[in-house]
């Protein structure tokens, strides 16, 4: 039996799988919001990735009573002045699929030269116990907006994000590679020692005599 428990504050199966694979080797039992269907949604009205991640971590920790890990992430395109940024999940039209959003971005940038197509993915991870924010951690992956959608791995804007070190789009990279280089992986790696320490503290709190 795993010794400690942490809530990954998401219902996104792709994101949950990515985080679970990275935390898999450690003695941590992972829950997600899918295990708490009656819990509402945190209000994401912050002005930065850090604010939104912190709001989510605190809200879901309070609602579930668990040590919670929440992330806020997005694509920042230089040509668009950093948009869509914190609005990545709601960019253009909330009813649109990410595939449709990708198509619109490519169309809007069809005449933009290679030297002006820079972009980066950003992820900020926050950890919190009920009523107490612990820390936030940031990870980034620098690349560019590709000319075409490519690849079947990943999700979101991965099909149009070109990773120069590999000469391929992020959605063309196998999960084992993405989990080493992605913005989320980099944020998690920065947070890993803290997560393990916090998870251990959570376990001690649960097992301490009352």
Residues designated catalytic: 72
Gyration radius of the chain's alpha carbons:
18
CA distances from 151 to 22, 104, 116, 131, 171 (A): 22, 18, 23, 41, 4
Contacts with 147 (C-beta within 8 Å, 6 or more apart), sequence order: 106
Contact present, 19 and 188 (Cβ < 8 Å): yes
Retrieve residue 193's tokens. Answer: 């020692």
The H-assigned helical ranges of the chain are 13-23, 49-64, 98-108, 175-181, 183-207
User: Computed from CA positions of residues 173, 179, 181, 184, in that sequence, does the dihedral angle turn out positive or negative?
Assistant: positive
Q: Which residues pair with 138 in a beta bridge?
A: 124
């Amino acid at each position: 039996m795993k010794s400690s428990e942490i809530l990954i504050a998401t219902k996104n199966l792709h994101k949950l799988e990515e985080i679970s694979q990275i935390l898999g080797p450690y003695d941590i039992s992972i829950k997600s919001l899918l295990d708490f269907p009656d819990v509402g949604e945190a209000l994401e009205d912050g002005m930065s990735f850090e604010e939104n991640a912190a709001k989510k971590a605190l809200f879901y920790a309070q609602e579930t009573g668990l040590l919670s890990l929440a992330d806020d992430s997005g694509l920042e395109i230089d040509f668009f002045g950093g948009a869509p940024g914190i609005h990545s999940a709601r960019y253009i039209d909330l009813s649109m699929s990410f595939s449709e959003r990708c198509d619109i971005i490519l169309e809007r940038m069809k005449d933009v030269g290679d030297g002006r197509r820079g972009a980066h993915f950003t992820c900020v991870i926050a950890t919190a116990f009920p009523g107490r924010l612990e820390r936030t951690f940031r990870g980034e992956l620098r690349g560019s907006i590709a000319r075409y959608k490519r690849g079947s791995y990943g999700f979101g804007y991965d099909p149009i994000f070109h990773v120069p070190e590999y000469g391929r789009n992020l959605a063309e990279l196998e999960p084992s590679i993405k989990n080493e280089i992605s913005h989320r992986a980099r944020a998690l790696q920065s947070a890993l020692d803290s997560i393990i320490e916090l998870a251990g503290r959570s376990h001690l709190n649960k097992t301490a005599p009352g």
